[in-house]
Amino acid sequence: MAIASPENKKPTHILFSAFPAWGHVRPFCVLAARLVKDDEKIILTLILAPTLLSKAQAEIWAEFRGAVSDDIRRRIRVLSSFKSGSNDLFTLFAPLAKSYATSYQALSQSRAVSCAVTGTVFDAVSPPSIVILDFFAYAQLQATRTITGCSVPIVSWVTGHTASTIRLFGPTDRGGHGDLDARNAEEALRIGVTPREIGDSLYRHTDGTVVRIPGIPPMYDWEFFPQELYQRSLKECDAVLTTSAYALEAESLEGLRSWFSEWKKDLYVIGPLLPSEYGRVAADSAPGFPETREFLDKALAEHGERSVMLISFGTIFWPTRQDYIEEVVEALIENDFPFIISYASPFATLSDGLIQKMKSSGLGHTSKCFPQQFILNHPAAGWFITHGGHNSVMEALGSGIPMICWPMEADQAAAAAHLTANLKVAFELVEVRTGLSGMKPLLRLESPDGTGRCQAKGTREAVGVEIRGVIQACRGEKGDELRANAREMKRRLVEAVEVGGVSRVELGRFFEKYDRPVL
C-alpha cells in the first residue's frame, strides 16, 4: 500500500499500545514497518510490555532485510514504559496501563520519552495524531481521553477471529453476550452482592442455548469453552481496524460491520498482516534455525514433500492433559510421520521420557523456540496441529498448509468450527476436549455411529483412536481436498494485500479519513 505523501504534508504520528500478548502485537509490527517504508512523513511510537520489546523490534527490522536507514530508525520508536521481571501477561497488564498515561502525557506535549528497560531516549516529535489501542486496552483509552479529549482519534485494534469478537462483545441478536457490564451489575443487585463477586460467572454460564453468529455454524453455548482453563473500548473508540481478511471470514466481518454501523463506527479490514517476504526469506537469525532446517531437509529427503507435522499452540496456550500429547506423539511415531513440537508457552511441559522417545525415534524434533513461519513454508511441511489462534491460522493459510484444530479457549472454538465446516481447510480433534463444558456434545457433529451428537469420551484411548484416524485421513483423499482448499485460500489472501487488493484499499480509506493534523 502506498500512501500519498505531498511535500507540504505535516508528519503523521501514530501511537500504538496493546494487551501484553505477542499475538496482539505482532501484526502491528508488520504494519508499522510498511507504513514507514511507504510514507516518509509517518512516525510511529509503540508502547509495549517489557517481555515483547525485543521481539517487536526484531519483527519490525526484519521487514527491512538489513537495510535500515537512520531516518527509519528515527521514525519507528519501540519502548517499554515500565520495568518488570514477570512473564505473566495478566501481571503485566496493570503496570502497562498505568505507565502508558505518563508516556502519553509527554508525547502529547511534544516532549522526549525514554524506554524504561533500555534507557534509550527518543527525541521530541509532533504529538500523536492517531492513537491505535488494543480493544482490551480500556485503561489506555480512558487515559488518552482524559489527556487529549476527542481531539485525537482513538482506533480499536482488533485481532482474533471475527466471530469470537461478536460472541464476546456483540449484541444478543447477533449471538453475542450483550452488555456484560450492565448484566453483571443487574445480577449483583438482584442477589445482593458486588459486581466483582459476580466475576465472569455470567460470561461462562452455559445451559445448552444454541448460539447463532454470522458466518459460523450454530453452536451450543458450552462449545465456546472446549478446555479447562470489555465491550467499552469498542463502544467508545472512533473507528476499528481488524487484522482479519474477507477471504477468511466475509460473512462474520459483514456481521461485525453491521453491528458497528449501529454505533456509527467505521470498520476497516486490513489483513492478513504477514511479513512482506513471507515464505520467501530464510530465518537464519531465528532461534533454533540451523537445527530446524537440518531436520526439515532430512525429512524432505527421506519422507518427501508435505510429510512433516508441526505441533504448536502459540506462546500462551498448552494442553492440560500431558497424556493426550503423549498419545499423539506415539501415534505419529507408529505411523512413521515426522513431526516438530514447539512448546513456547510458560505453561508447557514435556516429560524427559517423552523427549527421549522423540529423539530416539528419529522422527521428532522439539524446542521452546522455533522459526514457525520458516517451518510452514518449507517444502517438507504438510500439516499443522494448532490451537486455532488467529495468527497461527493466518500463517498456516498464508502458506497453503491445512490444519488439525485442538482449540483451547478465547476465539479458538469458533475458529475450529469455521475452518472445518465452512472453509474445509482443517480437521478438528474432539476427543482432546476437557472440563465440564468440553465434555458436552457439539451441535454440528454427529457421533461416529450416527446415534446422536458427537462428544468427547474423556479418555486417552479415545484420543488415540481419533488421532490415528486423522493421520490416515491426512494421507488420503480428504487430506488432498483440505490441502487444495488451503492453497486456494493462500492465493486469495495474497491477492487481498497486493496493489489494488481489498485490504490495501481499506487501509487507504482509513488514512484518507484519519490522516489529519491534531485539532
- Domains of the chain plus CATH, in order, are 12-164+231-275+496-515 (3.40.50.2000), 176-224 (no CATH), 289-495 (3.40.50.2000)
Max Cα–Cα distance, the chain, nearest Å: 71
Tell me whether strands 76-80 and 210-211 are parallel, antiparallel or unpaired.
unpaired
Task: Give the Cα separation of 289 and 241 in Å (integer).
Answer: 33
Query: What's the pLDDT at 445?
Result: 83
For residue 227, what are the CA distances in angstroms to 67, 391, 430? 45, 20, 11
Classify 19 as helix, strand or coil.
coil
Residues 302-338 have pLDDT tens digits of 999 999 999 998 777 788 889 999 999 999 999 999 9
φ, ψ (nearest 5 deg) of residue 130: -140, 130
Report the DSSP beta bridge partners of residue 428.
405
Cβ-based neighbour number of residue 461 at 10 Å: 10
Query: What's the pLDDT at 185?
Result: 67
User: What DSSP designation does 50 have?
Assistant: G
Per the CB < 8 A criterion, the answer to whether 108 and 127 are in contact is: yes
Query: Which residues have a Cβ under 8 Å from the Cβ of 151 and sit 6 or more positions away?
Result: 518, 519
For residue 356, what are the CA distances in angstroms to 80, 313, 352, 463? 39, 21, 6, 22
Task: Give the Cα separation of 464 and 100 in Å (integer).
Answer: 48
Report the DSSP beta bridge partners of residue 219.
211
Query: What's the pLDDT at 232?
Result: 66
Distance of CA 315 to the CA centre of its chain: 10
φ, ψ (nearest 5 deg) of residue 65: 50, 45
Task: Give the Cα separation of 201 and 183 in Å (integer).
Answer: 11
Number of H helices, E strands in the chain: 21, 19
- The full DSSP string for 4-50 is ---TTPPPEEEEEE--S-HHHHHHHHHHHHHHHHH-TTEEEEEEE-G
φ, ψ (nearest 5 deg) of residue 74: -70, -30
Cβ-based neighbour number of residue 147 at 10 Å: 15
For residue 401, what are the CA distances in angstroms to 257, 314, 466, 469? 29, 16, 21, 19
Q: Residue 194 is placed in which grid cell?
A: 458486588
Query: What's the pLDDT at 518?
Result: 37
Enumerate the H helices of 304-342 as residue ranges: 322-334
Query: What's the pLDDT at 455?
Result: 86
**Of 397, 464, 477, nearest in space to 429 by CA:** 464
Task: Give the Cα separation of 409 and 229 in Å (integer).
Answer: 8
Exposed / middle / buried, residue 466 (Cβ in 10 Å: 0-12, 13-18, 19+)? buried
Query: What's the pLDDT at 282?
Result: 52
**Of 312, 307, 480, nearest in space to 380 by CA:** 307
Which residue matches cell numbers 531465528?
A: 286
For residue 22, what are the CA distances in angstroms to 25, 34, 108, 159, 380? 5, 19, 26, 11, 27
Per the CB < 8 A criterion, the answer to whether 49 and 80 are in contact is: yes
φ, ψ (nearest 5 deg) of residue 325: -60, -45
Task: Give the Cα separation of 496 and 239 in Å (integer).
Answer: 21
Q: Residue 145 is placed in which grid cell?
A: 481521553
Distance of CA 132 to the CA centre of its chain: 17
Query: What's the pLDDT at 319?
Result: 86
Determine the residue type at 88: D
Query: What's the pLDDT at 3?
Result: 46
Instruction: Identify each DSSP E strand in 334-487 by its residue range.
Output: 339-342, 364-367, 381-386, 403-405, 426-428, 442-446, 453-454
Q: Residue 47 is placed in which grid cell?
A: 508502547
pLDDT averaged over 10-residue windows placed end to end, the chain, 519 residues = 53 91 90 90 94 90 82 93 81 87 96 95 95 90 94 93 82 74 64 56 70 84 66 82 94 92 92 76 65 92 96 83 93 95 80 86 86 90 94 93 91 91 95 88 79 85 95 96 97 91 93 66
Determine the residue type at 46: L
Distance of CA 336 to the CA centre of its chain: 31
Task: Give the Cα separation of 72 and 429 in Å (integer).
Answer: 45
Task: Give the Cα separation of 100 and 108 in Å (integer).
Answer: 12
Distance spanning both ends of the chain, measured CA to CA:
26
Query: What's the pLDDT at 92?
Result: 84
Determine the residue type at 179: D
Task: Give the Cα separation of 236 and 243 in Å (integer).
Answer: 20
Task: Give the Cα separation of 437 and 204 in Å (integer).
Answer: 10
Query: What's the pLDDT at 517?
Result: 40
- The full DSSP string for 113-135 is EE-TTT-PEEPP-PPPSEEEEET
Determine the residue type at 111: R
